[in-house]
Each structure stands twice: as C-alpha cells, then as structure tokens.
Structure 1
C-alpha cells in the first residue's frame, strides 16, 4: 500500500512529497539537474552521502519514473548503472528553482551558491515568476492560494 501523507493525500503537494520524501532525495535531484550527475559515485562525492542512503533514495526515484537506470561500462571495468533524469524528473527544475529562490531570499549566506537556470537555445537567464493569464507579473505577497480540483485547473 502506498504511503499516505496527511488527511488530504490527494493534494498535489502531498502527492509530490510522496515522491520527493526528504532532503537527501531533493539534493540528489538537484545534483542531477544542476551538476549533471548521473553516476552513483558522482552523487556520493558531491553530497557526502552514505552509499546505503543513496541506494535507498535512488531506487524509489527509478520506480516512480524520475530517473531511468542505464547500464554503462568503462574500459576494463565491470558494468555499472547510471541514473539519468527522465522528462518527468527534469520537470522538477521548477521545484529546485523555487527552493533556491526562497533560500536566497529567506536564508541568505554571503558564501552561498545557487543554481542559475538558462535557456538551452541562447543562454538567456530565466527566472521564476507568477504571471496571470493576461501576462501581468505578480509578487508572491500579492497572491492567495485556494484548494482547487485538478480537473478545474486544466492540468493533471
């Protein structure tokens, strides 16, 4: 039986957290998106994560379609797996970007780093924004959030 988060487990946020789960999982996805990490050792080196914890986080990400496991083999070495983000996994770039924006604004650090998202085509820097259907840009403080059925939003 699938893990259920809270009373309203049908909420899109709860459904997302059932995939993302914890900080290690989010950091693994960050490394794949920002650093292009695909190999087990790359994740270990970048995060300083124990191998058993990394294995325990990667497996569900493969099962849930965030990563695709592919076999590779270095010359003279045994076959190993790499973990390549799927389209669904790459779609989490907006989540990583939102976490980075919030961290920069609300937890600033003079020696901190942040991902910078740019266009593949021309390298133009992209930023997150709330934009109305009419094209008006709104600050987060100008918004309210209301629980709405996914079907009414036209996205599922």
Structure 2
C-alpha cells in the first residue's frame, strides 16, 4: 500500500498547548521522551536484536546469525540492551559444555511490543518489498494493529492530539 496523501500546511498535526505553545522559549534536548527512547533503541542493530528476542531468539550465536550483525556489533548492542534493562542474561549449559548466557526479554523490554507492532504495520505500507513476517492474533489469525488511545479509553488521531509540558499536564489533571 503506497502513501496516497501528501502533507499540506492545512492538514492537522499535534497541537502545542500551554508553555509548549512557544517552542522557542526552551529546548526539548535532554528531556524529550522520544529522544530518550531513541537513545535506548534508536539503532538498527538494537531493533533487529529486539525483533529476534520477540521471535524467541535467546542465544548469542542465533541472534548474531539471524540479524546478520557481526559478533562485535551484536555483543556491544546486547550489552547495552542488558544495561538498559530491556534484556537480561540467564545462564544455560549444554551437556559437556561450559555455562553460557542467553538473552531474555525483561518486562521493560516486553513493553516495547506495541512499538514493534506499530513499526511493522507502518513498514508493511512501504513499497518495494513483498513477503516478510506479519504479526497476527494467535487465536483468530487476524493481523495486529497499534492504536493510540488516551488513558480514558478514547482512540486519538493526530488531529486530536496535543503536546504540553509534563508538569503543566500533571498540575491541570490534579485541579
């Protein structure tokens, strides 16, 4: 499926409210949640290692082989994912071999599942590649989709979303 509608100046995007409305009054550098997320998982190597962990991959040799990463890159990125609490190491031992470590998703790592679903859904819209993997509901076989929903349970599109500073939003909700 190709992207069919080009963005224009009159198409809505996330609105800015409160102190965030004046974007030149401050910088988001260093405290932006998207920036922090990208620091943890914003590399191709991190995401494809996490993909393999979501598919059940655990052992270093398998993870490096299935991702096509060099051993050095895979080792460095896996260490980072462990240090950041997305994966944990768990010992295992094959008969007659020394104890080794495998990599298991932590609860924190599992919370990335909706992000993976959203990225795969978006990736399916790109032209030029046929085939691939599709995530489906194991019970009924229907494809998974990611939905943006507010805490009150309303589905929210970009035209209905607003950005504000966190302190402002917390203070407004407490009032």
TM range, normalised to the smaller chain? Answer: 0.7 to 0.9
TM-score of the superposed pair, with normalisation by structure 2: 0.70
1:129 aligns with 2:147: yes
1:115 Cα shift?
A: 3.8
User: Partners in 1 of 2:83 and 2:136 — Cα distance?
Assistant: 27
Aligned equivalent of 1:93, options 113, 117, 123: 113
Deviation string 1:57-101 (CA, Å, 9 cap, x unpaired) is 011111111111011001111211100000000111111111112
Aligned position for 2:62: 42
Q: CA RMSD in A?
A: 2.6
Distance verdict in 2 for CA 1:150–1:87, change over 3 Å? farther
The answer as to whether partners of 2:118 and 2:145 remain within 8 angstroms in 1 is no
What residue in structure 2 maps to residue 3 of structure 1?
Answer: none
The equivalent of 1:29 in structure 2 is 50
- Compute the displacement of 1:134 (Å): 6.0
How many Å separate the matches in 1 of 2:97 and 2:168?
50
1:142 is the counterpart of 2:159: yes
Task: State the match for 2:100 in structure 1.
Answer: 80
Q: Give secondary structure in 2 for the equivalent of 1:130.
A: coil
Structure 2 unaligned blocks of 5 or more: 1-26
Q: How many residue pairs were aligned?
A: 144
Q: TM-score, normalised by structure 1?
A: 0.78
Q: What's the CA shift for 1:118? A: 2.8
Which is greater in Rg? 2
Structure 1 runs not aligned, ≥5 long:
1-5
